[in-house]
Amino acid sequence: MFLESKKYHDDSYFTRQMIDGSGVCIYGIDFLDDKLKGIHPNELVLIGAKTGCGKTELVEHIASVNADRGRKVAFIRLEGDCTEFSERQRFKMICDMYYIDDNKPRVNGLDYASYRLNKTIGIKKYDEQANELLKRMHKNLILYDKKTIPSTDEVVMIIDHIASDVNLVILDHINYLDFMSCGSEYEGENRVMIELKRLTEFRGVPVIVVSHFGKNADKLIPDTSDFIGSSNKSKIANTVIVIAPDYENRNEINYQYSTFFRIAKSRAGVSSNIVASKVFDGKKKMYKSGYGVRVIQNNGKSVSDEVIERVN
């Protein structure tokens, strides 16, 4: 169907006028919010990294920060067991409370593995405070009860069903869906991404999809071609964000883990040839504010020595 240009332009104009710019969802990561200004209501965002490089950490943070701001978030978390999200968030709060003094040394026993097994001694008051705080912060957060792993068609139906009642949907990860009915993982991923793109446009609710990188993604800074499975995922998405370890600037002794953030694709005009380095505080389990921006070189195999932008 074709539209007359007058109707097309008017529809676009009035649709934008209806957006509450101050109320849009955010990433809660200063580099991403500085460059992208938030998450557009019609946006399909793809986030990728290698296994263990912080994808789930990032989307859990996005879910929490938006729920705390009063945005209603639907989190379809298919990785880990049923209690893991709550345990991880509570433990992060405990660490933030315990290490309120940045110079306080890390203590033995205050680690996530010990906490999950209820072996951490002397944190009961922090544990109780964190649980009460979580319930208040996350009153706008709904989580998918993953007694079964949904198929491609089921996950689209689930999102379509709740889309009108939420401000943001997060799917972590697309690689864990049941693709048996699709013939192949490639076909299943294509179908899900196409349907989710249609939903974002029709419902006006942004969707964030998490995906793994392939084993051969050996560049320092990955790009849109490194996702495992269908290469169409990044083509269909409006925005693609990739993260990777910045090993050269990590301080393992002091639990300071530098991480690269790249906006590999954007409809907002952000250059895909820059990368920001941010520090994840391994004691407090959160990203520190501030970042340094450098230029990507040699097709992602290296970055410039010069920092072209620094935000503290």
HSE-CB at 259 with a 13 A cutoff on CA atoms is: 26
As a whole number, the mean pLDDT across the chain is 91
What mean pLDDT is predicted for residues 115-143? 92
Of all residues in the chain, what percent are helix, strand and coil, respectively (each to 5)?
40, 25, 35
pLDDT (0 to 100) of residue 63: 97
**Strand, helix or coil at 96?**
helix
What token pair was written down for 298?
């040699």
Condensed to tens digits (0 to 9), the pLDDT of residues 184-238 reads 888 889 999 999 999 999 999 999 999 998 776 778 999 999 998 877 899 999 9
Give the CA angle between residues 26, 139, 286 to the nearest 5°: 50
Residue 146 confidence (pLDDT): 81
Rounded Cα gap, residues 270 and 266, in angstroms: 6
pLDDT digits (tens, 9 = 90+) for 150-188: 888 999 999 999 999 999 999 999 988 988 778 788 888
Domains defined along the chain, listed by start: 24-242 (3.40.50.300)
Cα separation values, 312 from 95, 166, 262, Å: 23, 33, 18
SS (H, E, C) 104-171: CCCCCCCCHHHHHCCCCCCCHHHHHHHHHHHHHHCCCEEECCCCCCCEHHHHHHHHHHHHHHCCEEEE
What pLDDT, on the 0 to 100 scale, is given for residue 108? 67
Longest CA–CA separation in the chain, Å: 69
How many CB atoms sit inside 10 A of residue 12's CB? 10
Measuring CA to CA, how many Å separate 167 from each of 24, 96, 163? Answer: 8, 27, 8
CB within 8 Å of 8: residues ≥ 6 apart? none
pLDDT value of residue 77: 93
Four-CA torsion 289, 272, 26, 162, nearest 10 degrees? -140
Q: What is the tens place of the pLDDT at every residue in 5-37?
A: 999 999 999 989 988 888 899 999 999 999 999
Note the pLDDT of residue 300.
Answer: 93
Tens of pLDDT, residues 66-125: 999 999 999 999 988 888 999 999 999 999 988 886 666 666 678 899 999 999 888 888
In this structure, what DSSP letter does residue 272 have? T
Spatial separation of the C-alpha atoms in residues 34 and 30, rounded to whole Å: 6
Site of tokens 């946006």: 43
HSE-CB of 92 using CA atoms within 13 angstroms: 18
- Give the pLDDT of residue 101: 64
253 pLDDT more than 90 = no
Whether residue 162 contacts residue 140, with contact meaning beta carbons closer than 8 Å, is answered with no
